Chains A and B, each alone.
Chain A
């Protein structure tokens, strides 16, 4: 089944403890992206990647890192999480930048 998977789906952590949220797609898509969703603010793009080893900042990149070492994976790294990064995170992929995006199921992160 063609899909975008994220792990973990739920995570509660403490301030400053490094964490990684994984994202994987099995559709051979070139384009991948991370969004966060907060009440009243909608979905906002954090980082995106147009292909392997090519990444760029979205609207809210502060406090996040990404890497794209292989086509199928696009992990989101929080080196030192803070409470303001408590949010619902979505990974998405598409064949190219100019196609409709397929979203993962989301990761709900709470930083205490």
Chain B
């Protein structure tokens, strides 16, 4: 997997947008960026993924820079239930998610 770098922790006020950055400067042209989150030792939950265009679903938006070396996950209106560890993952190969390598991720604390 391409190496990713994320901040260890972030805080966000409830109701505000949470912007979680990820650096993946060694990403290859056909590799996707995936985001998962894990709430307090529960099973990781898929959030969103993208290749080069920005993506949006009911949970979040993913903004990928034009050079694809970094991305930002946006939770538009963070709630207390969004407090979790967020993992940015770039699996090896074309969309290959068969082997996910979870780093340390970013611990997001949403505060009242």
A8–B86 Cα distance when bound, in Å, is: 26
A100 within 8 A of B: yes
A42 proximity list for chain B (CB < 8 A):
101-105
B95 proximity list for chain A (CB < 8 A):
98
Q: Please report whether the interface of chain A is mostly helix, strand, loop or mixed according to DSSP.
A: strand
A42–B88 Cα distance when bound, in Å, is: 13
A66 within 8 A of B: no
Contact A98 B43 (CB under 8 A): no
B43 proximity list for chain A (CB < 8 A):
4, 90, 92, 103-106
A92–B45 Cα distance when bound, in Å, is: 10
A90–B101 Cα distance when bound, in Å, is: 14
Contact B42 A97 (CB under 8 A): no
A50 proximity list for chain B (CB < 8 A):
98
Contact A97 B46 (CB under 8 A): no
Contact A43 B42 (CB under 8 A): no
A74 within 8 A of B: no
A98–B99 Cα distance when bound, in Å, is: 9
Contact A94 B97 (CB under 8 A): yes
How many Å from the CB of A110 to the closest CB on chain B?
14
* Residues of chain A whose beta carbon lies under 8 Å from any beta carbon of chain B: 4, 31, 33, 37, 42-43, 45, 48, 50, 58-59, 88, 90, 92, 94, 97-106
